[in-house]
Amino acid sequence: MVRVDDYLYLIIGIAVAAVALLAGLVTTRSRSGGKRVERGGGTDVLAPPEPHVGEDAETPRDTPTRTVEDADLPVLTEPAAPTLERPESAASRLVRLRERLSRSQGGLGRGLLALLSRDRLDEDTWEDIEDTLLTADIGVAPTQELVERLRTRMRVEGAAASPVKDVLREELVALVDPTMDRSLHVDRHDGKPGVVLVVGVNGTGKTTTVGKLARVLVAEDKQVVLGAADTFRAAAAEQLTTWGERVGVPAVRGPEGSDPASVAYEAVKTGVEQEADVVLVDTAGRLQNKAGLMDELGKVKRVVEKQAPVTEVLLVLDATTGQNGMVQARVFSEVVKVTGIVLTKLDGSAKGGIVVAVQRELGVPVKLVGLGEGADDLAPFDPDTFVEAILGDGA
């Protein structure tokens, strides 16, 4: 006979088994991560499991988690145009010229004034004046000329009739020679741009001077083209290109070691095509022998003039080399017809007398002077400003 308790245990067992079976099905479906989709014929199948995205989960490479439309794509914009620099005007350059020359050359003026202001100008005093001028690199002939003129005026006029400072100023200005034409001939002529050849040995700041001169001309609203014809120094072309980019001036260059004349030709051709006002050509500064230098610069000049006449040949000299720079000046003046001189590094240790010496040696004027490392530290040379700076404001 079956007892009630036995039925009760049987029912409980069946219930436990049913619960266990149901739990197993739920667990299997949960682990598969799938969901049912309806397939043709009414058959349900599990779709590919959805990826689990968590901090430690790895997203399958072939399973995109976001659509292109939802992605935060970078916004593509046109590159910003470089900000062009506005070079300093000639007027403000002249103000700084005087300030810097007063600091570097004022000792010469003060020394001369102290000697000339003595109660008695004897032979020893005149010898001291002569030594002071020679030390300033003025040169023997200009020094003797200046001393003789000072002696005459001081003897005839006397210190009471003409203040010593005025006498010295007048004689120094006359020595520097204000009658020389110091203008830059860079204007267009007959529909062609002016062409400036810049020459000088490497190390004088020649390429930098070309870049700074471009800024001087841009400040005067000139349209400028640069020619990097110093093809034997890769850095020269790079340097000149950078100078041009800063003020929006194009630079024509060629491969390293290419023919300088061909680069100069293309630069002038570009200047003609673009109707530029002036083309500045930086030439090679190798000084291994005069014959080679003459051949190279002569070829550059001949080739350039097939496009437009050369209106200026500027010789760049390092003022700190003093009388040693005169050797370079003589060589270049024999090779090409130099029309003007650019004296770099006239501030600091340079001696201002080199202005007089180089003009006397070459018979051509100093047209520009460099007074520092700044981009606008190249200024037109003015004799009156130069002499005033030497004498100093408080002299």
Instruction: Return the structure tokens found at 394.
Output: 């408080």
Is 284 labeled as ligand-binding? yes
pTM of this prediction exceeds 0.95: no
Non-local (6+) Cβ contacts of 72 within 8 A are none
Is 285 labeled as ligand-binding? yes
Is 282 labeled as ligand-binding? yes
Is 202 labeled as ligand-binding? yes
Is 204 labeled as ligand-binding? yes
CA distance 83 to 176: 41
Q: What is the DSSP letter of 191?
A: T
Where do the domains of the chain lie, and which CATH numbers do they carry?
Answer: 194-338 (3.40.50.300)
| Residue 345 one-letter amino acid | K
Is 95 labeled as ligand-binding? no
Burial (0-12, 13-18, 19+ Cβ within 10 Å), 129: buried
pLDDT in tens, the chain (395 residues): 445 455 566 666 676 666 566 555 444 444 444 444 443 433 333 333 444 444 444 444 444 444 444 444 444 344 445 677 877 776 777 777 777 776 666 678 888 889 988 888 899 999 999 999 988 888 899 999 999 999 998 888 765 556 888 899 999 999 999 999 999 999 898 899 999 999 988 878 899 999 999 999 999 999 999 999 988 887 889 999 999 999 999 999 988 888 999 999 999 999 999 999 999 999 987 765 677 777 888 899 999 999 999 999 999 998 888 767 788 888 888 888 899 999 988 876 667 788 898 999 899 999 999 887 888 889 899 899 888 888 875 44
CA distance 353 to 207: 25
Intra-chain end-to-end CA distance of the chain, in Å: 143
DSSP secondary structure letters along 304-334 = HTTTS-EEEEEEEEEGGGTTHHHHHHHHHHH
Is 203 labeled as ligand-binding? yes
Is 206 labeled as ligand-binding? yes
Is 324 labeled as ligand-binding? no
Is 200 labeled as ligand-binding? yes
CA distance 376 to 204: 17
